[in-house]
Chains A and B, each alone.
Chain A
Amino acid sequence: MGSVVLFNLFRFVALIALQVVLFKNVGYYNLATPFPYILIIFLLPINIPNFILFLLAFATGLTVDAFYDSIGVHAAACVALAWFRIFFHKITLDVDAQNSFETPALGNMGSKWFLSYIAIGTVVHHIVLFHVEYFSFSNYLSTLLSILLSSIFTILLIMLISLLVYRRKSRLLGN
């Protein structure tokens, strides 16, 4: 239990630092900007209570907002991502898996499940993020383009990070 908290805390600090020091300055004009810090929310333990999950997602978003000077924008997107996470776990995991305290990482869940989890979640997060940030439906095509390119960028980076820290442990899913 204690080590889980410690691991998550370490992941939080490391990913936020990476985000604001490195990835904030990386991007293809304003079209594609990566936000791999959302891996923090993806990798929280599976059976975490809903309220704690939302609270942590909100806090993560707010921390990034503080560095991006955009109070509330990332918080809103992260809260949406937390909701997606609950929904996705409910429809893809069986009861045993839902009650385990495992981290839903690449090594535990298998690549098929993990890739769809990351891909759909990232798209959900980016859709909310860019809509709240642009806050208008004028020039909508460029908003959609930003969402698409940034999502691809973020997914690639998250998969890269996941492979770098890949550790095969137990398999919760049968494949």
Chain B
Amino acid sequence: MKNLWLFLVRYNAFFWFVLFFTVSLLLVVQNNRYQRSAFVNSSNVVVGSFYDKLNSWKSYLALEETNKNLAQENAELRQQLQKFILADTLDSVQIADSIEENRYRFTIAEVVNNSIHQKSNFITINKGSSEGVEKGLGVITSNGVVGVVLNVSPHFSTIQSLLHPDTRVSVTLDTTNVFGSLAWGNNVDPRFALVRDIPNHVKVQKGMKIYTSGFSLFPKGIEIGTVEETGIVSGESFLDVKIRLRTNFSNLNHVYVVKDLLENEKNLLETQTEDNNG
């Protein structure tokens, strides 16, 4: 005990230095916006490039699966293309809306970090503000919805995954055009999610498909999943429906960031309408 005391007294300058310097650095990191973001942001250069490196090795393991998915997507696209090629253009009047064609811009990105076992799950991708990714854009994959962009740095972005209690996506139920909102809720299983606020009078059957409604960030008609269980009653006049997600979150690899080029126009119009209503 005495020796310890002597040791502390002998090197007291060093210990005071450590104490005061730590307090100063704490103040710096706590109060200065730049240092805080450089210090703790999950999409910072050090963490981001580490995951990038790690992923470049891990991606070899998933190569077979990725190839299969890409081939399948190719096939689906080819099938859609075929419809246009075969369509008889001579006796149909062209009323294609050229605005609608270019309404969405897709940026392909690679997933460099992913989690599915947390209560709130986040994904990091290797595209950032320098590639045109912005806060609040939607993220999809070839077979479903992934989430919403939460934070961007020049070369990386973090995504609030669909597997997050605060994520909501506007969806429609198969051919009925009834819409509800998709949420993971307090779920723990990354394969399932809930569709809330389906009116009670709608007959929901197992196996019905769920699509995006096009009201929110995502283009209309992306298949999200199929109804797994019906008739979970939330209140008086609405149904909660359990669905099986089509996106496999455990092996996400390539995703597309969707930019709605007409979003500002739409929002502006909608706020004007709200203003008029008082």
A residues apposed to B, CB below 8 Å: 50-51, 54-55, 57-58, 61, 70-73, 75-76, 79-80, 82-83, 86-87, 132, 135-136, 138
- What CA separation (Å) do A138 and B49 show in the bound complex? 14
Asked if B27 is at the interface (CB within 8 A of a chain A CB), the reply is yes
**Residues of A contacting B26 in the complex (Cβ-Cβ under 8 angstroms):** 72
Contact A71 B17 (CB under 8 A): no
Sorting the interface of chain B by its residue count into under 10, 10 to 19, 20 to 34 or 35 or more gives: 20 to 34
Against A, the Cβ 8 Å flags (1 = close, 0 = not) of B21-47 are: 101111111111011001100000100
Q: Which of A54, A58, A72, A82 interacts with B28 by CB under 8 Å?
A: A72
**Residues of B contacting A82 in the complex (Cβ-Cβ under 8 angstroms):** 17, 20
The DSSP consensus for interface residues of chain A is helix
Given A79-B20, A82-B17, A83-B14; A135-B34 close (CB under 8 Å): yes
**Residues of A contacting B21 in the complex (Cβ-Cβ under 8 angstroms):** 76, 79-80
- Most A-side CB within 10 Å, residue of B31, B39, B45: B31
**Residues of A contacting B16 in the complex (Cβ-Cβ under 8 angstroms):** 50-51, 54
What would 12 A/B residue contacts be, using CB atoms closer than 8 Å? A50-B12, A61-B24, A72-B30, A73-B28, A75-B23, A75-B27, A76-B21, A76-B24, A80-B17, A82-B20, A83-B17, A86-B13
Q: Which of B14, B23, B35 interacts with A135 by CB under 8 Å?
A: B35
Contact A132 B28 (CB under 8 A): yes
Contact A72 B24 (CB under 8 A): yes
Top 4 closest pairs, chain A to chain B, by CB: A72-B27, A72-B28, A76-B24, A83-B17
Given A58-B20, A61-B24, A135-B38; A72-B13 close (CB under 8 Å): no
- What CA separation (Å) do A61 and B21 show in the bound complex? 11
**Residues of A contacting B23 in the complex (Cβ-Cβ under 8 angstroms):** 58, 75
Question: Which residue of the partner chain B has the closest CB to A71?
Answer: B31
- What CA separation (Å) do A136 and B39 show in the bound complex? 9
Question: Which residue of the partner chain B has the closest CB to A90?
Answer: B13
Contact B32 A72 (CB under 8 A): yes
Given A70-B32, A135-B35, A135-B39; A75-B24 close (CB under 8 Å): yes
